[in-house]
A and B are shown apart, each in its own frame.
Chain A
């Protein structure tokens, strides 16, 4: 069953059309990486998948629910779709533990003790149990991003969206974050990852989508796309980043 189905998606900011007729399908347990030059619409595409951006046209079906339909409860859908941002966006006034438990407690009315138990399990998973009582301000960039991933996982989502999760990190921090994401992919999480990490896309991605100028120019299995790109724009982009 497909987890994400995007049909003829369009998105405009004012008069500027940023996404032009995007069509894409993501299957359950699939890891899809989105690459492309800056300004090509990768983030906007990702943000349309949980309606963080209002959608101008077309259809976006998430786990069977058309989120362009205004009658659906978008907050319910978002609980199933975790998102990880380039700049982490942890809640600085809450401890690491509270960052993880807030969603389950306030939204799902989970018992505090149960929420904390799950939070500690997730912190174990990202290797940060000992930081549970710290505030985000006391963490390094790589640690913040791993907490942000754990925070999204605390809602037990079916899909995880990543928007350049390692772009704001010092190089020596990137590995730890990618490692957590690899583990997640191995466990069968459905993932859409906007990234500049071509190594990650090649190794972990089931499919790579290349975007340019608001279009999906081409998509393929990683090895195929990287070694045998079909379009000139893909070739030009890859020659710069590989």
Chain B
């Protein structure tokens, strides 16, 4: 038991790294998703096409290949030098961005056309209509799916251990081989992931209920 309690602080250190990468990547991913969704709905064939290529490319390739492409592939060009944490954040953000884009596009399209017409008839510009009328309503509808995708992305961060990021999974590996207690260590790692995802779900439900009250 002593061995395990000595390992726990190391696992929590890994959790910190996991959460740090997750939070930054998910915010970036949401921004990317919003931009791509707007490109997809823009009245320009070229912009629609760019957005479609992006989404299709991400959806049609495995996460781990995207990670290697960014970390090893892009770095090998010597144009930029991404450290493993940056490469990890970028990959998760780009990956989540494609899925968010589809969620946000569907959310925007689910809002009745009459809302846009009412806003435009008052004199709102297209951008103001998006910002004040369409997106706030779309976001409410999207929240459950956004939460789902965020949870998937959180789990995807465990794959970042393969490029040497000291996240929760990587710390699990280190502790498992250092302590020879693979069963207990991996059980603990699983429990920590579970708790984090559980808390995330509770937070999402709370936000959802608050905005549903209106």
Contacts and interface: CB of A to CB of B under 8 A. Distances in A.
B49 interface: no
Interface stretch (A74-82, A177-185, A202-210): A74-82
Contacts of B118: 83, 85, 89-91, 148
Main secondary structure, interface of A, reads: mixed
Interface string A49-80: 01010000000000000000000000110110
Interface stretch (A29-37, A99-107, A189-197, A231-239): A99-107
A240 interface: no
Contacts of A91: 115, 118-119, 133, 137
A18 interface: no
B140 interface: yes
B78 interface: no
Interface stretch (B91-99, B121-129, B164-172): B121-129
Looking at A52, A89, A135, the one whose CB has the most chain B CB atoms below 10 A away is: A89
Interface in B95-135: 112, 114-115, 117-125, 128, 132-133
B124 A81 contact: no
B136 interface: yes
Contacts of B112: 89
B118 to A, nearest CB: 4
A148 B122 CA distance: 11
Please tell me the size bucket of the interface on A.
Answer: 20 to 34
Looking at B120, B123, B133, B140, the one whose CB has the most chain A CB atoms below 10 A away is: B123
A93 B112 CA distance: 13
A112 to B, nearest CB: 15
Main secondary structure, interface of B, reads: helix
Please tell me the size bucket of the interface on B.
Answer: 10 to 19
Contacts of A79: 122-123
B123 A75 contact: yes
Nearest to B117: A52
A107 B122 CA distance: 9
A163 B65 CA distance: 55
B120 A89 contact: no
29 contacts: A52-B120, A52-B121, A78-B120, A78-B122, A79-B122, A81-B121, A82-B121, A83-B121, A85-B114, A85-B117, A89-B112, A89-B117, A89-B118, A90-B118, A91-B137, A93-B136, A93-B137, A93-B140, A93-B214, A102-B122, A103-B122, A103-B123, A106-B128, A106-B132, A107-B122, A107-B124, A148-B118, A152-B122, A155-B123
Given A75-B124, A90-B118, A103-B124, 6 more contacts: A83-B121, A89-B117, A89-B118, A93-B214, A102-B132, A155-B122
